[in-house]
Structure 1
Amino acid sequence: MRALSDPSRWSDLGPRAASAVVMIAIGTAAVIAGGVWFQMVTVFVTAVMIWELWTMIEPQGPTRGMLLAALVASVLSGQLALQEGWGLVLFLLAAGGGAATLRRERLTFFGFALAVQVAGWGLVTFRHEFGFFWLLWLIGVVVITDVAGYFAGRLIGGPKFWPRVSPKKTWSGTVAGWIGAAAVGLTFDAFAMTGLWIVPLSMALSLASQMGDIAESALKRRVGVKDSSALIPGHGGLFDRFDALLGASLFMLLVTVILGVPGVPD
Structure 2
Amino acid sequence: MNSETSSSKWADLAPRLLSAIAMASVAGFSIWYGGSFYQALIILVIGLCMWEFIRLLQPAPLWLPVALGFAASGSLVLSVFWSQAAPGILFSPKILVLLIVPVLGAALLAQHRLLCFSYGLLIMLAGLGFIAMGPGPLLIWFILIIVMSDIAGYFAGRLIGGKKFWPRVSPKKTWSGTIAGWIGALALGVIGLSQGMFSPLEVIFIPLIAFAGQMGDIVQSAIKRMVGVKDSSQLIPGHGGVLDRFDAMIGAAGALVVLSAIGSLIFAG
Q: Distance in 1 between matches of 2:185 and 2:10?
A: 23
Match of 2:136 in 1: 132
Deviations 1:51-74 (A, max 9, x none): 001110112222465654444334
Match of 1:30 in 2: 30
Match of 1:116 in 2: 123
Identity across matched positions, percent? 42
Unaligned residue ranges in structure 2 (runs of 5+): 1-7, 86-91, 265-269
Match of 1:103 in 2: 110
Q: Residues 86 and 67 of structure 1: is their aligned pair in 2 closer, same or farther, counting only changes over 3 Å?
A: closer
Is it true that 1:150 corresponds to 2:157 in the alignment? no
Match of 2:99 in 1: 92
Match of 1:254 in 2: 258
Q: How many residues align?
A: 252
Equivalent position SS for 1:161: strand
User: Aligned partner of 1:126: which letter?
Assistant: M
State which drifts further: 222-231 or 46-55.
222-231
- TM-score using structure 2 length: 0.78
1:146-225 correspondence runs (5 A):
146-154=150-158, 156-192=160-196, 194=198, 199-225=203-229
Unaligned residue ranges in structure 1 (runs of 5+): 1-7, 261-266
Q: Residues 65 and 217 of structure 1: is their aligned pair in 2 closer, same or farther, counting only changes over 3 Å?
A: closer
Match of 1:3 in 2: none
The question of whether the paired residues in 1 share the 8 Å contact of 2:148 and 2:184 is answered with: yes
Equivalent position SS for 1:168: strand
State which drifts further: 182-191 or 63-72.
63-72
Q: Distance in 2 between matches of 1:67 and 1:195?
A: 39
Match of 1:77 in 2: 78
Note the C-alpha offset of 1:174.
Answer: 1.9
Q: Residues 251 and 96 of structure 1: is their aligned pair in 2 closer, same or farther, counting only changes over 3 Å?
A: closer
Deviations 1:66-113 (A, max 9, x none): 654444334323333255551334323322222222221122112211
Q: Distance in 2 between matches of 1:234 and 1:168?
A: 21
User: Aligned partner of 2:119: which letter?
Assistant: F
Equivalent position SS for 2:168: coil
Q: Residues 100 and 175 of structure 1: is their aligned pair in 2 closer, same or farther, counting only changes over 3 Å?
A: same
Q: Distance in 1 between matches of 2:184 and 2:15?
A: 23
The question of whether the paired residues in 2 share the 8 Å contact of 1:82 and 1:88 is answered with: no
C-alpha RMSD of matched pairs (Å): 3.2
Is it true that 1:50 corresponds to 2:38 in the alignment? no
The question of whether the paired residues in 1 share the 8 Å contact of 2:68 and 2:105 is answered with: no
Note the C-alpha offset of 1:11.
Answer: 9.4
Q: Distance in 2 between matches of 1:259 and 1:247?
A: 18
User: Aligned partner of 1:43: which letter?
Assistant: I
State which drifts further: 54-63 or 167-176.
167-176
The question of whether the paired residues in 2 share the 8 Å contact of 1:75 and 1:94 is answered with: no
Q: Residues 17 and 209 of structure 1: is their aligned pair in 2 closer, same or farther, counting only changes over 3 Å?
A: farther
Equivalent position SS for 1:169: strand
